[in-house]
Structure formats: structure tokens, C-alpha cells
Structure 1
């Protein structure tokens, strides 16, 4: 079934789409399957696209659908207006999460419909560059020799009509071409932003550029265009109003406010936290709860209460990785819960770590009616006498649904590497990826630009990318410093090793699951020689492919799903 919002009628309407809402929704209606070909029937085409974007931000599906509508000349003026507004407000997400196919599609739409002839021409040139590369790589797949021999090109080797072959080792054509592109593709323009990303991906992938670069002895070129900051106005998203409007009241359903919507913190995007918040919303909706709104601070919470037609019955605090080490923001969220309790609302503090918090926060915690923490170590850290339970991270439910049941393409890479919230560990993981020639991914957008700048400043050869569900399934094994990277790989059934994080959440999860011996890396791993690091990972990955390990992992995940369902049942009963 296609989602009720946005429908095709919404997309062709003059009314602006709610892109902020769509950014934080995950497509879960259908199982993943790569799309191929074209359906004459529009609804069948959109359904095929929904399969392709399963497990990903719904904003990406909307972008693809807008491009389809433009190709079919359906309400072009309105659709292109939505398309440009989407890029103006959420270009930060699209530029990092769309694959090259859909970035090229965006170039084609701009080339076809932009009123700016210079912009349209530049868009056509970006599309030409990438599609010519596509033809080159396709021809290579069909005809290339299994044994490359650069000596077959020596001196002036004719191709056609006066064109001569590029001279490996010393030719300067690619370096000069890339210098010109670097000058022309300005991140101050939309097409420059897209073009720079496309060229960088082409340079860092297994293409003619990276293969020829291996033979160069002079006139070198990098595996990316040097990152340059884009002006805020190009990537600015809609600003949330100071007085957010609650959603339409539904008298037949009790209402709740979600505290700590981690997917909306700052200007970032982290598909693990988006999964967690999406799982909370989907479960409560299925249990007949109505979301009045979300708040990440006291000001927004008070604004929601002031504008609500009827007071909420329940406040749900998504504790996630927030309630630790006496953080000021954690204390503020707990004080909101205590205030809600005084106003007569029920309070559920769920999906939380709890570590090294002061007695003042422990006192605020007592306002909660239910307190399911994520692991046994958090449970042991709670104040004595407090009634609480352990329920594994709620994102497990959504990861299992999207990653286990999809028809993903076979893995293309031996190992993938994910960054860490701990800067030292993140640097060590990046160093390992470079030495091991592995792909490196960052989970929050906020860290991506910073990591790319650090790589470029020292001429590193790994081009970091923002992790998506399809990336996760494209590697045979993972090493990660991120809690949700670990969760996702375990749920996908992919071997994974993890470093400790800024709290004991990684250790807590792995010890509760009985997987620590095979998956948990000692912190000293970061300082070991790369061959020793690889050997350690290989040994652990082999253990994780044993029948005993798989049986234990699957039993834990089955129990985790059951506990998550039971927890949401207990939360739902607070309103009845």
C-alpha cells in the first residue's frame, strides 16, 4: 500500500509539502528491492521506487517521485517548484544520502526545467560527465582484458580523429580536467554542490580515474575534489517555529508528547536515531496513541501545551544515549518529565542509558511511571529501590524489519568501517580504513564535513560517506565505533566488531546479548599495527559465522523483539 502522505496529488499541488516531517520518517511499507526499468503505470512506478527506498528517509523517496513526475510532464510548474524547495531546505541530507543515479537525475531535472540557462548548461555537463563514465565502465565490463598492461600505450597512440590515448604514469589530462572542474563547480550554487559530490564519488570509486591514478608517477590527482564549505543559504532547512502547532486533535485517541526526538537535534541526520524515534512513533500509533508533537527543550514543550486543544495524557522521554554523566540537557529533559507529572500526566522514560548521574537527576527520575532502560549495566546504575526493567534498544525492531527481509544486492566490499563519537577512536578507525583499503562511513552528518576536511588536509585517499541501510548491506563485515552501527549489523546478520563508546552502551548491549567475547574489541586495538588489527578482526569474524554464535544471536534478537513489544504495551496501558 502506498503511504497516505504525500500522495501524488500532494506532490503536484501548489501547497508546500511538509519536508521536515518526511525527513524524519523511514520508509517501512514494503521490503527493499532495487528498482530497474520503467512502468507505464505511474502508481506501479512509484511502488517500485518505494521498494528501492525501504529503510531510508522518506524524503529520498519523495525526491525520486518528483523526478519521475517531471519526466512524465505532470504539472511541471508545481512539481519543479516543490523540487527546488526540497533542495533549498534539505540539500544537506540529499547531497549525502542520494546515490549517484539520483544525483544525476537531479541534474537532468535542472537541465530540463531551470530558467537559468547557465545553470541548465552546467547541469547538462555534470550529467554528461557521469553518463560518459557510465558508458566507459560498461564497455570495460564487456570487453576489458583480465590483465591490464599500461605499456600498451607508449608515446603517441592514436584513437580517432586526431585524438590520442592518455599516457599512463605521466599524462596530465585528468589532473588538468579536475582543476578546471574544481574552479567551475562552486558550492555556492546548487548544481555546483551536486557536481562536486558526483565528481568526488567518481574519483573515489573503482573507475578509470582511480585505476589510472595508481600508475601515475607525476601530475597526480586526489580521489575527491577538495571540500569547500557551502553557504548556509543553499543548505538551510525550514526553521521550526517558536510556537510549534500541535497536530490535529483526535478525541478518540489519547495524546502524547515525545521528548528528545534525537533525529531532529541540531542540523544533523543520523539514521540510527531516526530509526529509534520512528520505531517509537509507529508502535504507539499501532496501540492507538496520537502524537500531539515533539519537544527537545522546555520552551518547545511549553509551547505545545499552550497550543494543545486538550492536554496530553502522556509524556514519553526517549532517553537513548542522553541520560549520562550529569549532562545539562539530560537534567532539563528530566525536569520536564517532573513538571509533566505535576500537571497530572503519566511519564514513560524509555530506551535509555543511565550512567554516572548526580542525585539531583536521580530524584527527577522518580517522576516516571515506567522506566525501561536499554541494558543491565544501566539498570545496576539506577538508584536503589527504583522499579525498572531492561528492554533492548527499540531500533532493533525496525532494523530487523528493513534489513532482514529485503532483497539486497550481494556485498561488494570485504569490510566497512564506521566512525565513533569518541574522537580518538574515530581517528583510529579512519586510519585503519586507509591502511586496509576499506570504505569509511560516518553516521551523523555533523561529523561528515569535519572528517572530510581532515582527510583532505593531509591528502588521505579514503572519501568518507554518510552511512545508509544500503551501505550497511554492501559489506561482508563491519568494524564500528557507533552503537547503532553495531545494532544494525547484528540485526542484519553481518559479522561486526565494536569499540567502546562514550558510555558503556556498547558493552552493555553485547554483554546482555552474550556476544561480547566475539564482538567487543579491546581499546588497545586502536594502537596495534594494521596487520595485527586485521588478524584480530578476521579471527572474530570467523567466530561469528559459527552455528553456535548465530543461534545465540538469533535467540537474543527474538527475545529483544518480544521485550520491545511488551514495553510498548506497558506504556500504552498508562492512558487507559
Structure 2
């Protein structure tokens, strides 16, 4: 990969700055509330801006993105949304050291509450955040198991949907074209706040592979074995396909390729 030129680096810096614009205001808004207050406050539709409900998973505008996410927390304690907001800020690299310290403190002191009220989707997002940021390598390695478990479940549920359709659960069928097209078009809800694997474009497995690779510095041998097993699942074994090879066959985006031939 070539090194970005001066003007390219400037554009990247501007883009990242725009993605963080208003972050300090958002942090102040939450800091003005206590943990108990956020536990007691239930998010309602009136607290969300209907015009910000775009249905798109990402937008550069931080306020619009968070308001879009807030719709997912209607009927839930505001503390759950706060946890999600911290994850968004970390992914946009807003004061990562301070923001992660707040995120980790929140999970340390409110573990039971968060596990009770958060959907699987946001629990796994928290696990990903710990894997990406935690200085404790053991904690990161343990939580990588949770991420792997759910990502593998999503892939296999997606394969089942592709072969069985939405109603027929009696026998395996060839992949159904209409279901493939539905997964190409948008994220489809599964359960627990999870979605089916976004056929063609999903970057989940690429991100999972990147997180595996970070453990090379922890244990080179174990990580080498782990990635070897992962790679073997990306091609037919004894001429038998599996859920991972199915997703690979349907994939389109060059940017989110997760396999290595």
C-alpha cells in the first residue's frame, strides 16, 4: 500500500475532524447527568429526532449518527445509550485514552446493569471495543471469544436463511435468489439486536481477522494456529462448502475481503 501524499493526509485529517465535530458538547451533556439519573431515564420517541432516522448504519455527522442510534434505545435506560455513544466516540478517535477510561469504568461499575439491559448487538460492540483498546491482553483475548461466537452464529444463521427461506424450515434447498438480493440491499434484523450477515459488503469478518492478528505480539504460535484454522474454513474442505465459503462466494467488496489465498 502506497503512503498517502501530503494533500491526501490533509484530506484524511479534515475528514476525521469532521466526524468528531461536536463530540465535546455530547460528552458535556452526559457529564451533567449522574449514573443513577441515566439509569432512571427511559428514552422515548419524543427524545429522538424523527428526521435523523435515516436507516443508514453510518453518517459523517456525529449528532445525526448518534440520534439515529438513539432510536434503537427507545424504551431502554439512557445509560445504555450512553455506553453506545462512548463506543461511537472511540471509533471516531475522540480523545481515545480518556474516552476508553470512561468506557472501562462504566463497565467495571455497571456490569450487571449493562448485561441485563443491553442487546446482544451492543454487548458484542462492547467486546470489540475492549479487544481494540484494552491494555490488558488477557481481557482482550477472552472477550475475543464472545465476538467470534456471535460472528460465527450470524454467518450460519445467514446461510440458513439463504437456503431455507423465511418460512420453510423442513429441508435444505438451493440458495434462494430473492433472499440473496434482500441481503445485498440492506441490513436485515435477526434477533437480540443482531442482523444477518450483509452479503456482498459486510466487513465483520475482516474486522474479526484484524483483531485476531493483534494477538501475534501476545502469542505468535497460538495466533498462527488460530489464523490457519480460520483460513481453512474460507475454502471448501474435502469438497464440502460451509457457511464461510458461502459468504465468500457472495462477497463483492474488495475493501472488506477477509480471506487470504
TM-score by length of 2: 0.50
Q: Whose strand proportion is higher, 1 or 2? A: 1
1:72 aligns with 2:88: no
Structure 2 residue aligned with 1:9? 27
Structure 1 residue aligned with 2:57? 37
The 1:147/1:126 distance shift into structure 2, 3 A limit, reads: closer
Structure 1 residue aligned with 2:148? 128
CA distance in 2, matches of 1:160, 1:78: 45
1:331-350 pair list within 5 angstroms: none
Following superposition, the deviation at residue 101 of structure 1 comes to 0.6
The 1:138/1:147 distance shift into structure 2, 3 A limit, reads: closer
**Residues 109-136 of structure 1: CA deviation (Å, up to 9, x unaligned):** 0000001112112222211210121121
1:26 aligns with 2:46: no
CA distance in 1, matches of 2:109, 2:54: 27
1:148 aligns with 2:178: no
Return structure 1 stretches of 4+ with deviation > 4 angstroms. 31-36, 162-166
1:49 aligns with 2:69: yes
**Residues 56-106 of structure 1: CA deviation (Å, up to 9, x unaligned):** 210011011001111111111111111111112211111011111101100
Secondary structure of 1:21's match?
A: helix
Contact 2:164-2:171 at 8 Å conserved across structures: no
The 1:108/1:58 distance shift into structure 2, 3 A limit, reads: same
CA distance in 2, matches of 1:138, 1:62: 30
Structure 2 residue aligned with 1:520? none
The 1:137/1:36 distance shift into structure 2, 3 A limit, reads: farther
TM-score by length of 1: 0.24
The 1:63/1:160 distance shift into structure 2, 3 A limit, reads: same
1:288-437 pair list within 5 angstroms: none
1:117 to 137, 151, 166: 137
Q: Which runs of 5+ in 2 are unaligned?
A: 1-23, 173-234, 243-261
**Number of matched pairs:** 151
Following superposition, the deviation at residue 9 of structure 1 comes to 3.2
Secondary structure of 2:60's match?
A: coil
Contact 1:34-1:52 at 8 Å conserved across structures: no
CA distance in 1, matches of 2:162, 2:171: 17
The 1:149/1:82 distance shift into structure 2, 3 A limit, reads: same
**Residues 488-543 of structure 1: CA deviation (Å, up to 9, x unaligned):** xxxxxxxxxxxxxxxxxxxxxxxxxxxxxxxxxxxxxxxxxxxxxxxxxxxxxxxx
The 1:128/1:85 distance shift into structure 2, 3 A limit, reads: same
Contact 1:23-1:58 at 8 Å conserved across structures: yes
Larger radius of gyration: 1
Following superposition, the deviation at residue 30 of structure 1 comes to 2.3
Following superposition, the deviation at residue 36 of structure 1 comes to 4.4
**Residues 4-47 of structure 1: CA deviation (Å, up to 9, x unaligned):** xx9523389xx796212211111231278795411111110111
Q: How much is the aligned-residue C-alpha RMSD, in angstroms?
A: 3.2
Following superposition, the deviation at residue 160 of structure 1 comes to 3.0
Following superposition, the deviation at residue 164 of structure 1 comes to 7.2
CA distance in 2, matches of 1:11, 1:100: 26
Structure 2 residue aligned with 1:393? none
Q: Which runs of 5+ in 1 are unaligned?
A: 1-5, 151-158, 167-576
Q: Whose helix proportion is higher, 1 or 2? A: 2
Secondary structure of 2:110's match?
A: helix
